[in-house]
Chains A and B, each alone.
Chain A
């Protein structure tokens, strides 16, 4: 959901659970999507990307799902670990643009 003020949406899970982080986008022309992970005090790191001609893409312990009908993107993390605790951003771009638009992020907290 939308965050209020300085507070990011937060997802708290137990170690070993599966996590699902959601992202809604507004531009129906967006055709390239990326998920980034940002640990506290560090720069974002690439996790996985997906193009609009795909609905699903899998990586190591992560899966990205794209629903273009409702303009929704999700990141699924299997068997979440404490090291997965971070802020996760989705980013979108369209029309071959190299300039992505970033979402505000979701804070994932993994409890041991």
Chain B
């Protein structure tokens, strides 16, 4: 059963702590993405990766870091430098061969900073 998974579903963090959100896909997709969604807002791109060991900043990368050591995995670390980290975080993947195509999204992680 192919898909994209995120864990945990809910995450609570104290101010000043780093936290890592997991994203795994078994769709054999080349590209992976991290988005942030705030209430009543669209999706804003944090980071994306089109190939293993390479990634690029999106529109709101400050305070976040990523790695892409394996094709299947694209973890996102929310650092203490992110001033307003409470949000719904969405991971997505897409195939690159054959041109533009839709993104497949995970179920999301809701991060709350206490």
Contact = CB atoms under 8 A, between A and B. Distances in A.
Contacts, number: 58
A25 interface: no
A43 B100 contact: no
Interface residues of A, number: 28
Interface stretch (A11-19, A59-67, A73-81, A90-98): A90-98
Interface in B96-113: 96, 99-108, 110
Contacts of B99: 96
B45 to A, nearest CB: 7
A79 B72 CA distance: 39
Contacts of A98: 31, 50, 94, 96, 100-101
Interface of A is mostly: loop
A8 B96 CA distance: 32
B2 interface: no
Contact of A99 (B48, B105, B110): B48
Nearest to A32: B100
Interface string B12-48: 0000000000000000000101000001111101001
Given A43-B105, A49-B101, A98-B96, 6 more contacts: A36-B105, A49-B102, A93-B100, A98-B100, A98-B101, A100-B103
25 contacts: A6-B39, A6-B40, A36-B105, A42-B107, A43-B106, A44-B43, A44-B90, A44-B103, A44-B105, A45-B105, A46-B103, A49-B101, A51-B100, A93-B100, A97-B100, A98-B31, A98-B96, A98-B100, A98-B101, A99-B45, A100-B103, A103-B42, A104-B40, A104-B41, A105-B42
